[in-house]
Chains A and B, each alone.
Chain A
Amino acid sequence: QPLGILVAETNRLALKAVSKVKVEYSGVTKPHTDMQDIINFKDRSRVKVYISANSARADTSDVTHVVKGSFCSGMQYHFTLETQQCICIPVEDGFDVFPSTQYPALTEIAISQFIKIVSHTCMSRIININVRRLGGGFGVKLIRSAQVASACAIAAHHVNGPVRFLMSLETNMEAIGMRCGARIDYEKLQIDEAVEIDIYEDAGISWNEKYATGTLSGFKNCYESSDWKINVLGVRTDIPTTTWCRGPGSTEGIAGIEHIMEHIAKTVNKDPTQVRLLNMNKNMSSIPQLITDLKINADYNIRKESIDNFNKNNRWVKKGISLVPMAFEVVPFDRYYAMVSIYGPDGSVAIVHGGIECGQGINTKVAQTAAHVLGCSLELVSVKSTNNLITPNNQMTGASITSEASCYSVNECCKELLKRMAPVKKSMKNPSWSELVQKSVEDSINLNTSHMYPYGDVQTKNYYSYGIAITEIELDVLTGRNQICRVDILEDAGKSENPEIDIGQVEGGFIMGLGLWRQEQIIYDPYTGRNLTNRTWNYTPPVSKDIPIDFRIELRKDSPNPFGFTRAKSSTTYQISGWDWESSGTECGPLRRAQRAGGVYMESNTGPNGPNTSFLHIRKRTLNKENKVAFMGNQRDFRVENRENEQRA
């Protein structure tokens, strides 16, 4: 928990000063670092119902099987290579602020509120926000960057000089919230209650950011869910408030329902894909087609057979393959600005838009849009820093809709400018672009315009992005080490604006998901509440050799989206499609199958499935004649219990 700000001449000196700060706490009680305890002990004062959706089916007379269980997923640190940071410079009319933020408008509001506290008066107009680009966002720079920028502004206000605020990796990991842990209980699936699901989310110390709607939508995925009763609940623990992280909620929700689908398939002894198809939402007819197509492209049936043979012939190395579908709901927001200026001397074009370039390629797509609509060369177009003079009150860069919305606004600007130049063009004979621009300037045409993308002014409404992934994995059951042999993803990308960028989003999201499901684990000291995994020595996101050996992404061809303005599907939606694929990577998928083939049995999942949860207890299995296999269950509980036993001793 941040306690204060230390300002020094150098970063090094400030860090040294920090190490000299001594804090004494009194009245310390054991913190709640794990929401499992709160759920298990039914401490209702720390649980809040976010959403309660649908009602369960009344008629259960045809129910033949009951499936019960619990699925958990862990926290994840965003690991933006650029940590939270900000530069703030007091100037004549207020502050020039250079925050690393996905949401300049919120940063401006927060700074203004903070300055108001220390100087009684402050207005948004004196906070000049400039954002060139981010070294990674993934959601952690939506809300939390405002906190850091405000701290920086307060320091600048006090010293009345420029202040640069840099977070170390350790401070960043300890103080700033992460992806929330989740638990999905489907134990209430009883004959008399029909389908009832409780989804718990770890809110952290306050209820600030709720994944709930994303989780609900993710959990429904592509299935007929109208008679599932789903409760989404927040659990208040004592860890830093959890925050948005790539595919918030949808990641957890999809993984959860896919886990349940697998569980059902196992219970009724049916092919999991068949179970999924039987439960398919009739309005999502794309999915069965995508499944059929990808099965053919990826030689699914042949490979499945060869894997069965492989497993018969190998005792200690096992393989598994899985197929998982995904439907991601895209929900448009409003207020995305763009301004376009065209320059006389050479016909070059400058754009300012309200989105933030954080690696998703928004500037490339915006520039492409302008060049395409204006009919000029892409090299003439450049994109400037985002600032709150030109894009006031702009919506955040998040939820995978910003590229599309910003492109829309640029599109409108360019159409308007062409309209203004049309009479000039008419008076000329086949002018080149630069001749046309030059003549327009001579005729005093206004070559600057702006537009704000408003909700409802175009043919956009909620729509779904679809995709299928087939994943194959090889597991050494003795050590738990495993390697993803091959991944095939077929993505319905609409009519892609830039296939290379979109494939990049799918791949990047997929690998971040591999980290979440396989190897990234946040561990808090159950007694002090301190994050013990606060740097690369003890927190291990994927490196290059962790990726699938054979990694194939295909965007579905000729599939225009009737709802988006460019016929593309939301330009950054692919991120989300990507990041949910990881569920096929482990939970319901190939790792489980390889584990089962190798006699490794896991009853419930409480965190990433690394080697440490995927192994077979060698001594018991090989040398005793028992048929029972090892149960490597709830690691986290084991740890706490272990510590408590030690303490008692």
Chain B
Amino acid sequence: PDIIYRIVDCLVNVFSCHGYAITTIEGIGSKKKGYHPVQARLAQFNGTQCGYCSPGMVMNMYSLLEGKQVTMKDVENSFGGNICRCTGYRPILDAFKSLAVDSSEDLRKKVPDIEEMHKVKICERNGKICTGNCSVDDGHNGESHNKNLLAQANAPVHIKLAKDVDWYKVTTLQDIFEIFDKINDAPYRLVAGNTGQGVYRIEEDIRYFIDIGSVGELKTTKMEPNLVVGAGMSLTETMEMFYTLSAENSKFAYTKVLADHIDLIANVPVRNIGTIAGNLCMKNNHNEFPSDMFLMLETVGATINIAEEGNKIVKMSLLSFLDLDLKHKVIHSINLPELDSSYHVRTFKIMPRAQNAHAYVNAGFLFKLKINENGKVLTKPTIVFGGINPEFVHASNTESYINGKNLFDRKVLKTAMKILDAELQLDHVLPDASPAYRKSLAEALFYK
């Protein structure tokens, strides 16, 4: 089935779009054709001032509405990737909330006569005024969709971009290693979401681009009996999978905590295409990157599977992965353990604004506890922090100290805090926040 999602054009390489059907702001409605209700609502609610952010706002809402029942809460949570400097957001959110299934009486009252005012377009199929809520399966948006194009999406492609730049799109793991064989030491880049350049710009001259976004094996999730998650899954796919799984399988109930944390990574369009592997790759390349994905996986004791030449899959801990030379290797999948209800998982991300910023400090805690025995810690807990210094992962001394002790004993807690304070050695690289704040924050999160 077709998957429709919003992406940001400046992050996606145009060659990655092979097989995409692309709808832009011009495609959904215009002055000539008549406006789409999302566009009309934004104008009606005075949600546009200088107008520069409006196309992005509209497309974000348009794709949110595709085939889904959108609530006001969904609207409120989905615009972290769209900056508006003029309006202060309130009228934009109001406009889009008025299209939600549970829109409030107040908002709906503001809507009448909108069709007349903004010349909303007429549906090509039923001749009535577009309501903006029919799914693509109904063929309403047929003009922008070419099924043949989509069918070609999974064929391998080779494009010569320049005399010494090649673009490959591959569909199997084998293809990737065949290219590795050919290119020797030439600089290459595996391309999936390509969103990492929002964090670290690509400075090297890349000789070979290998688009691995269509390698099915990297997007497969299995139970055997641990959970094996394909590393090529997008963060959005992973999040949705975790929400479903946590509700169905009590051994994986903890994945809800992870899904909630993923909601704090970047923003919707980035999560739509950015992958688990891409995020971990950045952590591998830049150990100082406060990767939320790395943090949450290490918290719950996940391991990583690396595909190497000769059909080999090597399983390793995330800590050893940090030092791994990824040259001519592919992050294949992630193994997540079963954890029963005596395990308590908590993660935190504290950032300078509500959404879409990297953490001052992020933290993950895994404790097997007997709650009613003064919080007896049954096995060595996991205490992981990001944003301390590039090498720091575990508060190992604190973990060892607490093992077997009663966590809710004030004396134990006091000693643990002292040990934690001693082992948190913070670096200070501008423009990051002060070590004093980050240290206190890490300790506060442990206390929380």
Contact = CB atoms under 8 A, between A and B. Distances in A.
B52 A523 contact: no
B93 interface: yes
B448 A478 contact: yes
Contacts of A481: 350
B354 A546 contact: yes
A508 B88 CA distance: 4
Interface string B187-199: 0000000000011
B447 A479 contact: no
A618 B46 contact: no
For B50, B51, B428, B445, the residue with the greatest tally of chain A CB atoms inside 10 Å of its CB is: B50
Interface in A528-571: 532-533, 536-538, 540-547, 551
For A79, A82, A545, the residue with the greatest tally of chain B CB atoms inside 10 Å of its CB is: A545
Interface in B53-93: 53, 76-77, 79-93
B176 to A, nearest CB: 28
B76 A136 contact: no
A479 B430 contact: no
B443 A618 contact: yes
A367 B441 CA distance: 54
B85 A81 contact: yes
12 contacts: A135-B52, A479-B448, A504-B46, A508-B87, A543-B83, A544-B80, A544-B355, A616-B440, A632-B436, A642-B435, A643-B428, A643-B430
A615 B87 contact: no
B83 A508 contact: no
B360 interface: yes
Contact of B444 (A478, A504, A543): A478
For A501, A532, A544, A643, the residue with the greatest tally of chain B CB atoms inside 10 Å of its CB is: A544
Interface of B: 46, 49-53, 76-77, 79-93, 198-199, 348, 350-358, 360, 413-414, 417-418, 421, 428, 430-431, 433-437, 440-441, 443-445, 447-448
A233 B14 CA distance: 52
A130 B284 CA distance: 50
A203 to B, nearest CB: 23
| Nearest 8 interchain pairs by C-beta | A359-B50, A511-B88, A359-B49, A135-B52, A545-B354, A81-B52, A507-B88, A523-B431
Contact of B82 (A478, A500, A544): A544
Contacts of B431: 521, 523, 532-533, 538
Contact of A623 (B76, B352, B417): B417
A138 B86 CA distance: 9
A2 B431 CA distance: 23
B444 A615 contact: yes
Interface residues of A, number: 66
A361 interface: yes
Contacts of B421: 619
Nearest to A510: B88
B428 A639 contact: yes
A523 B433 CA distance: 10
A612 interface: yes
Please report whether the interface of chain B is mostly helix, strand, loop or mixed according to DSSP: loop
A512 interface: yes
Given A81-B85, A135-B50, A547 B90 contact: yes
Given A134-B50, A504-B46, A544 B89 contact: yes
Contacts of A623: 413-414, 417
A72 B91 CA distance: 32
Contacts of A612: 352, 360, 433-434, 437
Contact of A540 (B85, B87, B353, B413): B353
A541 B417 contact: no
A365 to B, nearest CB: 13
A501 B431 CA distance: 37
B90 A551 contact: yes
B83 A635 contact: no
Given A81-B83, A544-B89, A623-B413, 20 more contacts: A81-B85, A136-B52, A136-B86, A137-B50, A359-B51, A479-B441, A504-B86, A508-B49, A511-B89, A519-B352, A543-B89, A543-B353, A543-B356, A551-B88, A611-B351, A615-B440, A619-B421, A623-B414, A635-B437, A642-B435
A610 interface: yes
Given A540-B352, A543-B354, A619-B417, A512 B85 contact: yes
A525 B431 CA distance: 8
For A137, A533, A547, A635, the residue with the greatest tally of chain B CB atoms inside 10 Å of its CB is: A547
Given A81-B83, A511-B88, A547-B88, A501 B46 contact: yes
Contact of A611 (B87, B352, B358, B448): B352
A643 B428 CA distance: 8
A638 B436 contact: yes
A183 B46 CA distance: 37
Contacts of A79: 83, 85
Contacts of B357: 540
A274 interface: no
Given A82-B52, A359-B50, A639-B430, A508 B417 contact: no
Contacts of B86: 136, 359, 504, 508
A501 B52 CA distance: 17
A482 B49 CA distance: 28
B83 A622 contact: no
A350 interface: no
A615 B85 contact: no
B85 A630 contact: no
For B91, B351, B352, the residue with the greatest tally of chain A CB atoms inside 10 Å of its CB is: B352
A82 B421 CA distance: 46
A540 B431 CA distance: 12
A500 B46 contact: yes
A538 B93 CA distance: 25
B268 to A, nearest CB: 12
B87 A632 contact: no
Interface string A121-164: 00000000000011111100000000000000000000000000
A143 B87 CA distance: 24
Given A612-B352, A618-B443, A133 B434 contact: no
A369 B152 CA distance: 57
A361 B86 CA distance: 11
Nearest to A623: B414
Contacts of A508: 49, 85-88
Contacts of B351: 611
A525 B352 CA distance: 20
Contacts of A638: 434, 436
A305 B84 CA distance: 36
A532 B198 contact: no
A44 B324 CA distance: 56
Nearest to A578: B88
A504 B441 contact: no
Interface in A367-408: none
A480 interface: yes
A422 B437 CA distance: 73
B440 A617 contact: yes
B400 to A, nearest CB: 19
Interface string A295-330: 000000000000000000000000000000000000
A543 B56 CA distance: 14
B82 to A, nearest CB: 7
B14 to A, nearest CB: 12
A595 B434 CA distance: 19
Contacts of A138: 85
Nearest to A77: B85
B334 to A, nearest CB: 25
Interface in A340-367: 358-361
Nearest to B350: A479
A225 interface: no
A622 B87 CA distance: 42
A217 interface: no
Interface in A238-263: none
For B87, B198, B440, B441, the residue with the greatest tally of chain A CB atoms inside 10 Å of its CB is: B440
Contacts of B430: 523, 525, 532, 639, 643
For B46, B85, B431, B444, the residue with the greatest tally of chain A CB atoms inside 10 Å of its CB is: B85
